Structure 1
Amino acid sequence: MPTGVAIRDVREHLFAAAERILVRDGAAALTSRAVTTEAGVAKGVLHRHFPDFDGFLADLIDDRIAALAPRAAALRESVGTGTVVGNLAGAMTALFNSVAVALIGLMIFRDDLRARLRAAHPGGVPLLADAVAMIASYLALERDAGRLAPDADPQMLAYTLIGSGHLLSAGRRTSPPDEHEVSRMITAVVAPSLR
């Protein structure tokens, strides 16, 4: 992008460029120069908006965690409608898109980023821990609505679902599992708790 041309939402423009690199080339290829080149901006643009590259990456992850809030609200609103497996399959298929899986890999790959994120997210791996909270909240509501057994443990079910969902999705850069595969996994996990 030529110097002097205004970019509407610089942060989102840079975030989108980083995500494209992550999905296409992996965490090892993600550098500040690669991001600015992909975004078509001067290298200084990134450093004008973020204190350093790990700060940029931490903000990217925090932004994507914040994007879970509407998904969590929609999942909670689905309580008592459709099927538990269907509701979870839709949410988890959207959750484990190729970008989310790449962001999880990035946190594992970069030690300094992981350390920075731990300060703001002390409980588990960011994004995964937030996904567990989203699923556990939904399952607790379904249990209260009588669609899960009274002795069902929403937190443990959520850990199992998110861990299994991540394993099902990891390593699939171009084609995440479809909703049918995700539904099979969810059914295997929650079937004993369904009423």
Structure 2
Amino acid sequence: MPTGLALRDPRQQLFDAAERVLVRDGPTGLTSRAVTTEAGVAKGVLHRYFADFDAFLTGLVLDRIARVKAQATALGETAGTGTVADNLTSALMTSFDPVMVSIVALIIARDELRTRLRTAGTARFPLVGEGSAMIAGYLTAERELGRIAPDADIDTVAPTLIGAAHLLFTERKDSPPEPEAVRKVVTTVLAGAMR
């Protein structure tokens, strides 16, 4: 591998490569050598920025969690516009891309990664918990606007939506579910919570 190439953002280049390897080869295929090969850099580049491979994986998941938090802000801004079901369907379609589904599998597969993520202050089930918080925040905003029933149990509805969507997306290996299938899950879960 060439070692004298200047990298624009080496951490992001490595994260992008790891996401491609993870989606293509799964958690067992995600190794430091596979990541650096995919990124087209020398193996030492990864260790220049991360203490070890688990530190790299922790950074990868935290990067994805930051994206979920940014999406939560965008979803919150849709409160009071469109329909609740359409807003949630769109958010779930965006959240559950193949990378997120693969990262959840990675978190489940690696004990040390889960330990490090909890130490970093993530949700009890990293990434899934942040997704649930995104949905709960949005539903709370909609309840304040009167579009969700005042007695709706948001702390149950939000993780139920995330869990049901996760199952829907993991059942399909080759392509994501159609938006209408996701919308059906959303409207079914929300049935008792709507005004």
| Mapped contact 1:98–1:172 kept (Cα < 8 A) | no
Structure 2 Cα separation of the partners of residues 92 and 122 of structure 1: 20
TM-aligned CA deviation for residue 171 of structure 1: 4.3
Structure 1 gaps of 5+ residues are none
Structure 1 Cα separation of the partners of residues 154 and 164 of structure 2: 15
| SS of residue in 1 equivalent to 2:149 | coil
Q: Percent identity, aligned pairs only?
A: 55
| SS of residue in 2 equivalent to 1:79 | coil
Structure 2 Cα separation of the partners of residues 23 and 102 of structure 1: 6
> 1:160 maps to what in 2?
160
TM-aligned CA deviation for residue 68 of structure 1: 1.7
Q: Which amino acid aligns with 1:48?
A: R
1:46/1:67 CA distance change after superposition, 3 Å: same
Q: Runs ≥4 in structure 1, deviation > 4 angstroms?
A: none
Structure 2 Cα separation of the partners of residues 121 and 76 of structure 1: 22
Q: Which amino acid aligns with 1:57?
A: L
Structure 1 Cα separation of the partners of residues 155 and 54 of structure 2: 31
| Mapped contact 1:98–1:174 kept (Cα < 8 A) | no
1:41/1:122 CA distance change after superposition, 3 Å: closer
TM-score under structure 2 length normalisation: 0.96
> 1:90 maps to what in 2?
90
> 2:178 maps to what in 1?
178
TM-aligned CA deviation for residue 91 of structure 1: 0.4
Q: Which amino acid aligns with 1:126?
A: P
Structure 2 Cα separation of the partners of residues 90 and 30 of structure 1: 29
Between stretches 81-90 and 109-118, larger displacement belongs to 109-118
Structure 2 gaps of 5+ residues are none
RMSD, aligned α-carbons: 1.2
TM-aligned CA deviation for residue 178 of structure 1: 2.4
Per-residue CA distance 1:131-176 (angstroms, 9 max, x = gap): 1111001001111111111110112110100111111111433312
Structure 2 Cα separation of the partners of residues 34 and 68 of structure 1: 26
TM-score under structure 1 length normalisation: 0.96
